[in-house]
Amino acid sequence: MSQTPDGTEDTRKPDRLLLTLERLLQIEAVEFKAVLNEAAQLMAEALCAQKADVFLYDPTSKTLVALGTSQTPLGKRQHALGLNRIPLINGGYLVKVFATGTPYLTGHLDQDPERIVGMSSPDGLGIRSEMVVALDVHGERRGVLMVSSCTPDFFSQQDLQFLQAVARWIGIVIHRTELSERLRKEEAQQRRSMLAEELLTVVAHSLRSYLSTLEAHIDLLQMRALRRKRQEDLHESAVLKRVVRRLERLIADLLDVARLDQGLFALSQRPVNLAHLARETVGAFRTPETEIAVHTPQEVIVVGDAERLRQALENLLVNAIIHTDHKRPIVVKLALEPRHHAWWAMLTVSNTGPPIPSDLQARLFHPFVKGVHSKGLGLGLYLAHSIAVAHQGTLALDTGAAEMVQFTLSLPVATEYHMASRQEEEASGESEGEPHASF
C-alpha cells in the first residue's frame, strides 16, 4: 500500500486502529441500519477506500445483504446497480468467506475467476482491489465486511489484519445495538400493555355499573309483566337477562386477564368435590338444542377454588357448544388416573366439529386468540388454562380422533380424601376398582 485512490502518498498512521476503534465505540446504538452505515463509513475512511460494506446474512432469502454501506460515490453506485444483494447460490469469493471464515485479499479482482459479475467490469463498479473478512456477532457467523478500491494493489496484508481486528469490534457494536433495540421494544411493549390493562380495567368497571342499572330495570319489567300476566314480555325480559349475564361474563373475563397480567389472580382454596361441581355445571348448560352427557364418579376431591374451577369448566363448555356440529352430544367425563405416584383428576370435555388448524393449536391458550367461527374475544381457553396452572394442573388439547376435539383439565387429587374414600368403599364391600356413575 503506497498510494491513495487519488495517487498521492498514503499518510495513514500506525495508530489508525486505535482511532477507528475509539470512533466505533462512540457510535450511539440507536437505529440498526444507521449504526451499520456509520461503521462502514469509518472503515472506508480508515483505509482510504472508495467503498466499504457490512453484509449480513438474510436466512429468509438466503442472501448476503449490504445493510451498511459507506456514503461514497462507489457505495451509492453499488446500490443503484443492485449489487448490494448477493445470493448464496451465486457463489463467489464473498460467499466463500462467509461459509469458511477465510479472509480474501486481491489487487486484481478483474482477473479472479470467482469474481462477482458487475463488481470489476468497467460498466459496473470497476473494482480492482478488494478485502473481505468474516463478521461474527456474539459467537455466531452473521455476515462479512468488504472494503473496495478501483486502484490495483491498493491493500496490503497489514490492511487485511487491520480489517480483521475491526470486524471483531463491529461485531461487538452490532451485538450492543441489537440488545438496545430489543430492550427498547420490550419497554415499549410493556408500556403499551400497562396502558391497555389500565384502560381495560376502567372500561370494565364502568360497564359493570351500567349493567347493574340495566339489570335492575329488567327486574322491574319482569315483575310488572308477571303481575299483568304478559307472557310475551316475560319471555323478552328473560332474553334480556341472558344477554346481560353474557356481558357480565365477558367483563369478568376482561378483568381476570388484567389481574393475571398484574399478578393479582388469587385463589380461595378449600376441598372441592369436582364430580359434584361438574354435574351441577353441566346441568346449567343443558338445553333442548344442546345435548351434554356427563360421566363421573360419585366423588373426586381436589383442593382448589370452586368458583374458578367452575369458570374453567364453563369456558370449556362454551367453547364446545360454539364449535360442536350437534350430530353427537358433547361429552363431559371425570376419571382418576395414577401419575407420578399420585392420583390425578382428569376432566375432559369432548365435542365433534371442524378440526383446529395446527398453527392455531400452538397459540390456542394465548389471550385474544380464537378460531374463525368464534364470536368471542378469544379469552375463554386462555383463562381456563391459567386457572389450571394456578391449581398446579394442566389443560391440554387432543385432536387425535376423527372430527373429535377434546380438552383435558388435569388436577392433582387431594390424597387424604382419596384414601379415605377408598377405605369407605372397601368397608362397604364395594369393588376396589374406581366407582363410576353416569347422569
Average pLDDT estimate for 150-163: 93
pLDDT at residue 140 above 60?
A: yes
Tell me, yes or no, whether 253 and 115 share the same domain. Answer: no
Q: Is 139 left (phi over 0), alpha (psi -120 to 50) or beta?
A: left
Reported confidence tier of residue 55, pLDDT bands at 50, 70, 90: very high
Among 13-27, 144-158, 388-402, name the one with the lowest average pLDDT: 13-27
Average pLDDT for the chain? 82
* Same domain (yes/no): 172, 257: no
User: What CATH number is attached to the domain comprising 70?
Assistant: 3.30.450.40
pLDDT at 189 over 80: no
Contact at 8 Å (CB) between 413 and 345?
yes
Higher pLDDT, 419 or 326: 326
| Amino acid 420: pLDDT | 53
Residue 368 maps to a domain: yes
Identify the CATH number of the domain in which residue 385 sits.
Answer: 3.30.565.10
Q: Residues 40, 176: one domain?
A: yes
Residue 11 lies in a domain: no
Q: Is the pLDDT of residue 12 over 70?
A: no
- Tell me the mean pLDDT in the region 153-162: 92
If asked whether residues 314 and 409 sit together in one domain, one would say: yes
Does a structural domain hold residue 114? yes
Bigger pLDDT: 127 vs 367: 127
How many domains are there within the chain? 3
Phi then psi for 328, rounded to 5 degrees? Answer: -130, 155
357 and 287: one domain? yes
User: Residue 254 belongs to what domain range?
Assistant: 191-261
Rounded CA separation 290/241 (Å): 20
Among the candidates 243, 261, 279, a domain finishes at 261
Cα angle value 308/309/310 (rounded, 5°):
90
What pLDDT score does 197 carry?
Answer: 65
Where does a domain end: 237, 261, 285? 261
Q: Considering the entire predicted model, what is its pTM? A: 0.49
In a domain, 6, yes or no: no
* Residue 233 sits in the same domain as residue 321: no
Calpha distance 352→357 (Å, rounded): 15
Q: Are residues 288 and 417 in the same domain?
A: yes
Residue 43 contacts residue 70 (beta carbons within 8 Å): yes
| 156 and 246 together in one domain | no
